[in-house]
């Protein structure tokens, strides 16, 4: 994958907004790994994550006319992703999620994400794994900063209890 600057992505997004399919494909290729990873971390289901990722980018393509260039495309598509993921996760249960038995500390933490409630898991992933700011998370989730911070603390405490 090519390395793009923020300017390149913004330029490609503007072209994509004008229904330039090649530009959208470039923006898609740049953003799809993060969106897929978010889906996979929320669902722990490869097949569902692939389907959700496709649906998210199809929604993004259909709604590009609503994209506000004042925010990053990544933040905008993450907002679409959160709505799709929440709807998709409601159709599964934690019993459907298979834990990864590898021993790396990252995999141990990620395998324990299933112990978190849906919004706790989302906030933890966005803040601690994807490195979104509190401001961006409030934009994506329509929650207050206080609510986001409270859920993040709860998520971290639950994960610590699960890991110990």
Sorted by where each begins, the domain ranges of the chain are 1-98, 99-164
Considering only the C-alpha atoms of the chain, give the largest distance between any 2 of them, rounded to a whole number of Å. Answer: 52
Q: Retrieve residue 122's tokens.
A: 């989302």
Asked whether the whole model's pTM tops 0.95, one would answer no
Q: Which residue has the higher pLDDT, 90 or 164?
A: 164
Question: What architecture (CATH level 2) is domain 1-98?
Answer: Orthogonal Bundle (1.10)
Could you read off the pLDDT of 83-139 as tens digits, one per residue?
999 887 665 544 444 444 444 445 677 778 888 999 999 999 999 999 999 999 999
CB under 8 Å to 36, separation ≥6 — which residues?
49, 50, 53
Angle between helices 6-17 and 73-89 (to 10 degrees): 70
Q: Identify the CATH number of the domain defined by range 99-164.
A: 1.10.10.10
Same fold, 1-98 and 99-164: no
Q: How far is CA 125 from CA 54, 66, 83, 109, in A?
A: 20, 26, 15, 11
């Amino acid at each position: 994958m090519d390395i793009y600057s923020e300017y390149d992505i913004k330029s490609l997004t503007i072209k994509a907004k004008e229904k330039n399919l090649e530009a959208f494909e470039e923006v898609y290729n740049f953003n799809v790994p993060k969106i897929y990873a978010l889906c996979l971390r929320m669902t722990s289901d490869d097949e569902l994550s692939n389907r959700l990722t496709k649906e998210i980018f199809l929604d993004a393509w259909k709604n590009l006319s609503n994209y506000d260039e004042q925010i990053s495309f990544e933040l905008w598509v993450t907002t679409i992703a959160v709505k799709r993921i929440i709807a998709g996760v409601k159709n599964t249960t934690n019993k459907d999620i298979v834990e990864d038995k590898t021993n790396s500390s990252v995999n141990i933490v990620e395998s324990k994400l299933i112990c978190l409630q849906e919004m706790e898991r989302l906030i933890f992933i966005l803040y601690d794994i994807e490195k979104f700011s509190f401001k961006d998370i409030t934009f994506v989730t329509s929650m207050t900063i206080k609510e986001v911070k409270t859920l993040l603390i709860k998520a971290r405490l639950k994960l610590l209890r699960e890991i110990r």
